[in-house]
Amino acid sequence: MEYRIEHDSMGEIRVGADKLWGAQTQRSLENFKIGVGTDTMPTEIIHAFGILKKAAAIANAKLRPEKMTEQKLAAISTACDEVISGALASHFPLVVFQTGSGTQSNMNANEVIANRANQILGKALLHPNDDVNMSQSSNDTFPTAMHVAAVVAIKQRLLPSLDALINTLIRLEAENEGVVKSGRTHLQDATPISFSQEISGWRASLVRDRELIECSLSPLCELALGGTAVGTGLNAPIGFDTAVAEEISSITGYKFITASNKFHALTSKDELVFAHGALKALAADMMKIANDVRWLASGPRVGLGEISIPENEPGSSIMPGKVNPTQCEAVTMVAVQVIANDVAVGMSASQGNFELNVFMPVCISNFLQSVRLLADAIASFDKNCASGIVANRQKMHDNLHNSLMLVTALNPYIGYENAAKVAKLAYAEGISLREACLKLGLMSEEQFDSVFKPEQMI
């Protein structure tokens, strides 16, 4: 491999001749061989750095035109566009487990953008620190990249998947209107419910989760950029924070504002904790829905068997013809991972010491993994399972009419204790509620038939 010599404040170091990064990225590569190939900095963060570096250059050109010339701005903007598009992805090799401030990833972005811009210009005009990092610090750029990446990922990946599943459930509600089945509490028979009502519970849970996620986005749209090293804004021109937030809004199409208190913005990650709490709520509801679906589809002959779900692949290497609720299982595994990630996000946020949080890379890595996993799992569940749910109406009817808890309808006429006697006798002797009620002499045939109407108990 051919090398070139790069230097930084610590001296010279060899860098691959075909790499756009510089000395500080190379030092990080050599010093943090932790999770190489598996735990690299999330792509969303790299793209967010492209956005914020472009926005910062535009703001600097307005506020410090003597330093950020039109020539420099044009080259930086082009290089940043390539970062945003993913064209320079191979030049961002650093791992999550590096300095807790994310300084090395900030410098990775500075070096790649500066070197690429110099390639575009055909001369060494731009410096990573003096030009690309102008008016900034790693301490305010990394938390800004975290918020931008979180908002974009939620809006562009998670919410569309969630909306599609909600629409599928709305369709299933309409298709199953009037289909009555046995309700279940504590995994035991309960009073009747319509299948559309049961589905509406799933749908309403997801709608509420969406509302909670939306509520969490507003705080995430506040940016730390402009606080520089410790929140005082040292070396940033007056108005830079506002100007750069406006430019980030323009580039992304989402409204971002500058954080009113930069000391808070640099050290506290409470906005991410709050937002991930909403993600955890969604994960918990998806766990519940997926479990409901696989219970209802269990069997098909010796389980509940009240619904059919798509048969996507063989379920066993030894049992021929077996088909399993694999999409449900995938969703529940994702839910477990998201709930686990919530611990990492919360613990990371608790490590804001004095003027900086130094667990930011692991915090945002877990956050973004949760967004990606939820978005993908929900889309897969919708396409490969939920959209193909079909009610087994005969099985629902049979289970409903075999349920002892239909006896609840008799409470107003014979009282709770007598109704309990009816249920226990029916269970003990394997007879119907009607037969048990008549055997105990609690009602006549006409009286029983006039009040015992399971389909009207919903």
Question: What is the set of active-site residues?
Answer: 186, 316
Q: Is 181 helix (H, G, I), strand (E, B) or coil?
A: strand
What is the C-alpha to C-alpha distance for residues 357 and 48, in angstroms, rounded to an integer? 19
* DSSP states of 78-94: HHHHHHHHTTTGGG---
Report the SS3 class of residue 315. coil
Structure tokens at 295: 């219970």
d(CA 454, CA 401) in angstroms, rounded, equals 7
User: What is d(CA 422, CA 78) in angstroms, rounded to the nearest whole number?
Assistant: 79
Task: Select from 21, 112, 119, 107 the least CA-distant residue to 75.
Answer: 119
Which are the contacts of 376, defined by CB distance < 8 A and separation ≥ 6?
Answer: 161, 334
Interatomic CA distance for residues 357 and 348, integer angstroms: 8
Residue in the structure block whose two tokens are 């390639």: 119
**Of 239, 61, 45, 25, whose CA–CA distance to 134 is shortest?**
61
**Contact indicator for 360, 100 with CB cutoff of 8 Å:** yes
Instruction: Read off the DSSP letter of residue 123.
Output: S
Closest CA to 23 of 38, 10, 7: 7
* Cβ atoms 345, 146 nearer than 8 A: no
Any idea how long the chain is? 458
Contact 145, 48 (CB under 8 A): yes
Please report the DSSP string for 133-162 in residue order.
Answer: TTT--HHHHHHHHHHHHHHHHIIIIIHHHH
Residues 6 or more apart from 340 whose CB is under 8 A from it? Answer: none
H or E element that contains 108: helix 103-121
Name which of 210, 188, 226 is nearest 275 in CA terms.
Answer: 210
DSSP bridge pairs for 348: none
Please tell me the distance from the alpha carbon of residue 296 to that of residue 290, in angstroms, as a whole number.
10
Q: Return the bridge partners of 142, or none.
A: none
Q: Contacts by 169-178 with C-beta closer than 8 Å and gap 24+?
A: 169/199, 169/200, 169/202, 169/203, 169/206, 169/386, 170/203, 172/196, 172/199, 172/386, 172/389, 173/199, 173/200, 173/203, 176/391
